Amino acid sequence: MLIIPAIDLKDGQCVRLKQGLMEQATVFSDSPAEMARHWVEQGARRLHLVDLNGAFAGKPKNESAIKAILREVGDDIPVQLGGGIRDLDTIGRCLDDGFSYVIIGTAAVKNPGFLRDACVAFPGHIIVGLDAKDGKVATDGWSKLTGHDVIDLAKKYEDYGVESIIYTDIGRDGMLSGINIEATVRLAQALTIPVIASGGLSNIEDIRQLCAVESEGVVATIAGRAIYDGSLNFKLAQDAADAGSR
């Protein structure tokens, strides 16, 4: 079980949001590159970057901070990026810059043809981020709830050839209320590609519960607010995940 630290970027700073609300941002660092180095030194084996401004603008906005992170750690571990990735040219630039994976969210729902083309052009590098509440997919920085069922969409994306699915329960994200294990497992059981859990990770017990369902296809979890405010020690959590996966 891999624990992936999240670095959410807003106006060049490392922040965390509550339930995706930009006005509910807590700044944790003015140097995202230093924060990235910190997580690598603590044992992170992958990083999850989100360009929050980009997610709302529809194109990358925190490019200087993003490139600084890649210069700092890009040769050490895989780094994945989401937020405002809406065309093939942007994907190509991201991969050329050194990202291992790009995450497509809103554009996957609104323009499935684009997602299909991306999987063909960049096989093995495309992750889809599915954000949902009560089983229904949300788009546009979580501001719009659609009528699409999470599992139905995920199956379609699997057929396109996406590398994995990041499933976020937006009712829990940033709230430290625990991962929605049941919904995450239900999704993983319906797919053959890996599922990465996101939203609500809060303590070691969450890690133990995730390790217990790893065989169902839940291979990793994204850690956000909990590792920033100290309620979860990242190094101890990854050690526990490694032990629980044996």
Q: Which residues are catalytic?
A: 8, 131
Cα distances from 144 to residues 10, 56, 109, 131, 163, in angstroms, run 20, 12, 12, 11, 25
Are 106 and 139 spatial neighbours (Cβ–Cβ below 8 Å)?
Answer: yes
Does an H or E element contain 37, and which? helix 32-41
Q: Is 180 exposed, middle or buried (0-12, 13-18, 19+ CB in 10 A)?
A: buried
Are 133 and 170 spatial neighbours (Cβ–Cβ below 8 Å)?
Answer: yes
Residues in Cβ contact with 166 at an 8 Å cutoff, skipping those fewer than 6 apart: 82, 103, 127, 128, 129, 130, 195, 196, 198, 222
